[in-house]
Amino acid sequence: MKYGTTTTTAAILMALVAAAPLAAGAADEKAQTTTQEAKTMVSDSWLTSKTKISLFADQRVKGTQISVDTAKGVVHLRGKVDSAEAKSAASDVAQGVEGVKSVKNDLQVVMPAARQAVDVNDKDIAKAVETRFGKDAQLKKVDVRTDAGVVTLTGQVATIGASAKASEMARGVPGVKSVKNELAFAK
């Protein structure tokens, strides 16, 4: 009986010793993933800052008119510019920043004379969409941004159905020209 207990104990100890490197490897892999995610966040912030500085320095573009976000090296430009040339120049400037993988240019061309009316209308549209979303528990935390009547939805929702519902509700607001649904699904 004693021989069986010793053998069982030895087998358990061997299994634990054999599993230790696997557990350490998993922990090491998680640490590497976390480190990589932190580096990506820092580099995205760095790319956003470098792009903003470059846009301010370029005479063809009014940097104050452009919002810049970066995710995984992809620079996203939003806002209103005075001309198609300024929109194109903004893309060129952003693409010229070292480390930028690609540029998503969602800039709207709005003439200066029409900008005030468009800006006021955009605020009213965004407020109306947010009010509608505020009445729905699934959509309360959706972020709404409006540029020249184009509503952009960002944030997280629980299901694809909630995402579709958000798009449908936003389209129903007077003055909305189109809806860009960039909602992610919670895991």
pLDDT tens for the chain, 187 residues: list them: 445 556 666 666 566 566 555 555 555 666 566 555 555 555 888 998 999 989 988 888 877 788 898 988 999 998 888 889 999 999 999 999 999 999 999 888 887 766 666 666 889 999 999 999 999 999 999 999 998 888 999 999 999 889 999 999 999 888 888 899 999 987 6
What is the rounded CA–CA span in Å between residue 44 and residue 60?
A: 24
CATH for the stretch 112-185: 3.30.1340.30
Instruction: Give buried/exposed letters for 72-101 (b at 16+ CB in 10 A, else e).
Output: eeebbbbbbbeeeebbebbbebbeebeebe
In the chain, where are the structural domains located? 1-109, 112-185
What is the rounded CA–CA span in Å between residue 177 and residue 53?
A: 32
